[in-house]
Amino acid sequence: MRIIIINNITHLDAKQIDDENGSTTYTIPMFTHNIPHLPFRVFCLLPVFFVLLSSPSARAAERAVGINHIPVCMNFSCRDRQFIAISPEEWNSVANWMRPAAPDAMTERLNIKNAIGWMEVIIGRYTPTHRDLGGDLGNRDAQFPGQLDCIDESFNTTAYLQLFQNNDLLKFHKVVDRAYRRAIIDQHWAGQIETLDSGERWVVDSWFQNNGYLPYIQKTEKWEDINIFYTANLDSSQPEPPKEGSFFSRLFN
């Protein structure tokens, strides 16, 4: 039942429920990066932003995340960033997806998927990220403020995973640096975890889904295995072959 709720609840519904219960939502603005707006395709093309978000200070901020200090990026390449505080009740509604502890790594990854989806719903009560649509490149329906590109998504997912780890909710995995892949024309980032016993890495990719829907989780090795002449922004968990006769289809043959 709970999985059905997560797959179908909208952020507007979540906010209405919150309001009807008499709760007060709030956003805590901390700072805004002074990065000018750029065209859609630019944001997953510029390595400089990856360097920015991989800096020691950024990683330190991730490790320090707590329910009263959750960093949330939005509006492409973390152009806008807020620190959010959620209530203990809201945190428990997320953490309960990880409780009791999973019996094995596969089950824990499923729990992580559900917990990330619900975490996005909770965060959407405090930020415009509830408006985020899956993907962003060339999407005329992109929502600002609140739209996320792959850099925003990877940063936020990593922060949520770190929050789970900091609260001892991960038994079979640990949080590692964001995953990265590139093709000739673009590049892509996602959150990433590592299995403790085998060292096998798994990508947690929230970019392809609308905010609040479940992220894709797949082996990093498979996620990185893309045709560099195609696009790094293909959903490699469910590959879509190019149309017959197209330029890209000839590259595959």
Residue 241 belongs to some domain of the structure: no
In the prediction, which pLDDT does 47 show? Answer: 42
Give the confidence band of 59 by pLDDT, cuts at 50, 70, 90.
Answer: low
Asked if residues 237 and 213 have their Cβ atoms less than 8 Å apart, the reply is: no
* Degrees, nearest 5: CA angle 214-194-83: 55
Residue 33 belongs to some domain of the structure: yes
Residue 14 belongs to some domain of the structure: yes
Residue 248 belongs to some domain of the structure: no
Give the confidence band of 227 by pLDDT, cuts at 50, 70, 90.
Answer: confident
Residue 187 belongs to some domain of the structure: yes
pLDDT tens profile 91-108: 999 999 999 999 999 999
In the prediction, which pLDDT does 34 show? Answer: 32
In the prediction, which pLDDT does 244 show? Answer: 40
Residue 243 belongs to some domain of the structure: no
Give the confidence band of 172 by pLDDT, cuts at 50, 70, 90.
Answer: very high
In the prediction, which pLDDT does 237 show? Answer: 63
- Give yes or no for residue 49 having a pLDDT over 60: no
Residue 212 belongs to some domain of the structure: yes
Range of the structural domain that residue 15 is part of: 2-236
Where does residue 43 rank: exposed (0-12), middle (13-18), buried (19+ CB within 10 A)? Answer: buried
What's the domain count of the chain? 1
Residue 244 belongs to some domain of the structure: no
Asked if residues 121 and 112 have their Cβ atoms less than 8 Å apart, the reply is: no
* Rounded average pLDDT over 29-58: 40
Where does residue 120 rank: exposed (0-12), middle (13-18), buried (19+ CB within 10 A)? Answer: buried
- Give yes or no for residue 21 having a pLDDT over 90: no
pLDDT tens profile 132-156: 999 865 556 677 889 999 999 999 9
Give the confidence band of 61 by pLDDT, cuts at 50, 70, 90.
Answer: low
- Give yes or no for residue 62 having a pLDDT over 90: no
* Degrees, nearest 5: CA angle 70-76-80: 45
